[in-house]
């Protein structure tokens, strides 16, 4: 993973000429004079972790598994939001941990937590490092140091219960390897977020991730049937049946807890048979309103493909729905929807039923070309972000969700807020996840970088968070809370909700060492 950008440097994407021209002519983007910092130029804070504490940590995980070298510290600094990348490109490593600790077992995680609690060291559980909401930045205030707890060594498929279709897997498994291991047993998780190449199972659970095939396979939190969690107070074993009426479901307390309540060291996950058929197709609708109504009817009638998404007019025009062909405007006017089917012999009949409903609601079939092109380029858009940043554009994404009846209001509120903050940005949107009762809206924003691009985006983000909550939406459908959504989340759940969060944290993590500043508002 590129330390100051996204993904495999070998896959870096150059900006097509039409996009450069569009950026310049429409948004006034011009290249920045300063060059991006090299890894060796990143400014890091002095290490505050004492030698005896480092020796204790080495005693737990082994000398090779405690690292304080500059590269390890840089690679565990923040996540992959656009401000994160802009700050790294500017050589700002001020949030770097003092050390990176790599435990090899649940017992070692418990022991590391005990050492850190005894010495008041903040601990940041670290999966793939792809958080886009500031979930990997611990507050140093009041702590003797900060440790990144990298879970990469916890990477085994422990067991497969084929009869129940449940796999026990460790949290440090990155998604592609998890899929390869499951494929050996004929199964899939079916979790394909755009961060698929680098994100881990633990991170998916801790941040309540949702993949591009969520219409068919469900969100990641739907897949979790059990968990083992290491906390500073001991071990929590959760989930002894798929569902239970034995009180509130404590699995739901850990799902979405973003490392602030405990460290997930094992997951029991519902798996599905690996599909034999995969078909993706495109549909055109005259407008976003018409397309949204068609998607709603489809899911409310229970005729649901595995992938279902709809780009608005702007996103369709720019061609972001087919990131491999950005700027190509492949479908002409209107809005492009993608319907994908992953399964077995039922696929042709389901396709026919979907086609009948969509055609009856104004959809025009575009065949499999747009669908296959989307599937082919589905992980390539993040690579374009690096080129856009280098070209002087800020490009960032944000997402929300709401009930169908409120979706138009939410859509307008986000766009209005972004225009008010950023002048005339390019704002694109798609419906990314659908439910019978509502959907998620995923926005991509492109604007010219101001003199202080990080401050410019921080202000825009603060306003848009407020606008989302005021318009009745949730501040996150699948990116989580981190630090960036913490205030808006507190507004969503109210004072009593915040008190509950603080109560749980106080019970599981009395010294407050786990991801301080993330998820739970300080104070109280």
Ligand X SMILES: Cc1cc2nc3c(=O)[nH]c(=O)nc-3n(C[C@H](O)[C@H](O)[C@H](O)COP(=O)(O)OP(=O)(O)OC[C@H]3O[C@@H](n4cnc5c(N)ncnc54)[C@H](O)[C@@H]3O)c2cc1C
User: Residue 99 Cβ, how far from ligand X at the closest point, in Å?
Assistant: 16
One-character DSSP codes across 135-204: TT----TT-SEEEEEE-TT---EEEEETTTTEEEE-TT-BHHHHHHHHHTTTEE-----TTTTT-BHHHH
One-character DSSP codes across 272-292: EEPPSEEEEEEEEESSHHHHH
Per CB under 6 A, the segment of 24-32, 88-96, 255-263, 328-336 that binds ligand X is: 255-263
Interface with ligand X, residue 216, by CB under 6 A: no
Residues in contact with 102: Cβ distance below 8 Å, sequence separation at least 6, in sequence order: 61, 65, 66, 67, 150, 151, 152, 153
Per CB under 6 A, the segment of 8-16, 54-62, 189-197, 402-410 that binds ligand X is: 189-197
User: Quick one: which of 188, 200, 231, 465 contacts ligand X (CB under 6 A)?
Assistant: 200
- What are the CA-CA distances from residue 222 to residues 201, 209, 214, 399, 400 (Å)? 13, 10, 10, 19, 18
User: Residue 383 Cβ, how far from ligand X at the closest point, in Å?
Assistant: 9
Q: Phi/psi of residue 411, each to 5°? A: -55, -50
User: Residue 191 Cβ, how far from ligand X at the closest point, in Å?
Assistant: 9
- Residue numbers 144-183 binding ligand X by CB under 6 A: 151, 171
User: Quick one: which of 57, 206, 354, 469 contacts ligand X (CB under 6 A)?
Assistant: 206
User: Quick one: which of 202, 291, 370, 453 contacts ligand X (CB under 6 A)?
Assistant: 202
User: Residue 263 Cβ, how far from ligand X at the closest point, in Å?
Assistant: 4
- Residue numbers 2-31 binding ligand X by CB under 6 A: 6
How many Cβ atoms are within 10 Å of 276's Cβ, its own excluded?
Answer: 10
User: Quick one: which of 82, 188, 209, 421 contacts ligand X (CB under 6 A)?
Assistant: 209
User: Quick one: which of 136, 147, 338, 375 contacts ligand X (CB under 6 A)?
Assistant: 136
Interface with ligand X, residue 259, by CB under 6 A: yes
| Residue number, 77 or 195, with CB nearest to ligand X | 195
| Residue number, 82 or 363, with CB nearest to ligand X | 82
Query: Per the structure block, which two tokens stand in for 457?
Result: 């985006």
Interface with ligand X, residue 125, by CB under 6 A: yes
Q: Identify which of 16, 265, 331 has the alpha carbon closest to the alpha carbon of residue 127.
A: 265
User: Quick one: which of 27, 116, 132, 223 contacts ligand X (CB under 6 A)?
Assistant: 132
Interface with ligand X, residue 383, by CB under 6 A: no
Rg of the chain, C-alpha, whole Å = 23
Query: Per the structure block, which two tokens stand in for 272?
Result: 């599905």
CA distance 57 to 73: 16
User: Quick one: which of 263, 295, 401, 439 contacts ligand X (CB under 6 A)?
Assistant: 263
Interface with ligand X, residue 443, by CB under 6 A: no
Q: Would you put residue 73 in left (φ > 0), alpha (ψ -120 to 50) or beta?
A: alpha
User: Quick one: which of 83, 256, 382, 512 contacts ligand X (CB under 6 A)?
Assistant: 382
CA distance 369 to 263: 43
Query: Per the structure block, which two tokens stand in for 211?
Result: 């993949």
Interface with ligand X, residue 505, by CB under 6 A: no
Which residues make up the interface to ligand X (CB under 6 A)?
6, 79-80, 124-132, 135-136, 151, 171, 193-195, 199-200, 202-204, 206-207, 209-210, 258-259, 263-264, 382, 478-480, 515, 518
């Amino acid at each position: 993973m590129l330390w100051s950008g996204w993904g495999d440097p070998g896959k870096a994407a150059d900006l097509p000429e039409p996009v450069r021209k569009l950026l310049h002519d429409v948004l006034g983007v011009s290249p920045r004079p300063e060059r991006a910092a090299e890894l060796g130029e990143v400014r890091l804070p002095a290490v505050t972790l004492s030698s005896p504490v480092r020796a204790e940590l080495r005693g737990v995980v082994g000398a090779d598994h405690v690292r304080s070298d500059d590269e390890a510290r840089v690679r565990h600094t923040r996540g992959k939001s656009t401000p994160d990348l802009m700050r790294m490109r500017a050589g700002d490593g001020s949030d770097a941990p003092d050390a990176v600790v790599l435990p090899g077992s649940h017992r070692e995680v418990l022991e590391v937590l005990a050492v850190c609690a005894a010495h008041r060291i903040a601990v940041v559980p670290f999966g793939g490092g792809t958080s886009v909401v500031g979930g990997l930045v611990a507050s140093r205030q009041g702590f003797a140091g900060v440790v990144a707890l990298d879970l990469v060594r916890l990477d085994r498929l422990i067991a497969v219960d084929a009869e129940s279709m449940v796999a026990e897997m460790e949290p440090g498994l990155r998604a592609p390897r998890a899929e390869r291991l499951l494929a050996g047993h004929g199964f899939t998780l079916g979790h394909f977020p755009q961060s698929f190449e680098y994100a881990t199972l633990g991170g998916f659970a801790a941040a309540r991730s949702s993949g591009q095939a969520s219409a068919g396979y469900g969100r990641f939190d739907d897949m979790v049937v059990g968990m083992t969690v290491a906390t500073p107070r001991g071990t929590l074993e959760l989930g002894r049946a798929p569902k239970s009426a034995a009180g509130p479901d404590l699995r739901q307390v850990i799902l979405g807890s973003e490392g602030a309540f405990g460290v997930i060291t094992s997951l029991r996950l519902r798996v599905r048979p690996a599909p034999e058929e995969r078909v993706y197709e495109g549909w055109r609708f005259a407008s976003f309103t018409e397309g949204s109504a068609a998607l709603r009817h489809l899911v409310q009638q229970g005729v649901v493909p595995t992938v279902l998404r709809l780009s608005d007019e702007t996103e369709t025009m720019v061609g972001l729905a087919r990131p491999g062909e950005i700027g190509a405007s492949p479908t002409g006017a209107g809005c492009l929807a993608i319907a994908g089917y992953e399964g077995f012999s039922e696929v042709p009949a389901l396709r026919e039923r979907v086609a009948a409903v969509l055609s009856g609601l104004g959809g025009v079939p575009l065949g499999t070309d747009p669908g296959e092109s989307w599937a082919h380029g589905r992980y390539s858009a993040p690579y374009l972000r690096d080129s856009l940043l280098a070209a002087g554009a800020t490009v960032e994404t944000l997402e929300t969700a709401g009930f169908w009846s409120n979706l138009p209001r939410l859509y307008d509120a986000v766009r209005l807020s972004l225009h008010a903050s950023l002048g005339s940005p390019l704002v694109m949107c798609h419906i990314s996840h659908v439910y019978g009762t509502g959907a998620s809206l995923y926005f991509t924003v492109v604007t010219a970088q101001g003199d202080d691009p990080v401050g410019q985006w921080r202000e825009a983000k603060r306003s848009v968070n407020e606008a989302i909550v005021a318009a009745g939406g949730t501040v996150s459908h699948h990116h989580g809370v981190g630090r960036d959504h913490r205030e808006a989340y507190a507004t969503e759940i109210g004072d009593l909700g915040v008190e509950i969060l603080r109560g749980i944290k106080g019970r599981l993590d009395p010294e407050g060492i786990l991801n301080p500043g993330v998820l739970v508002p300080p104070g109280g």
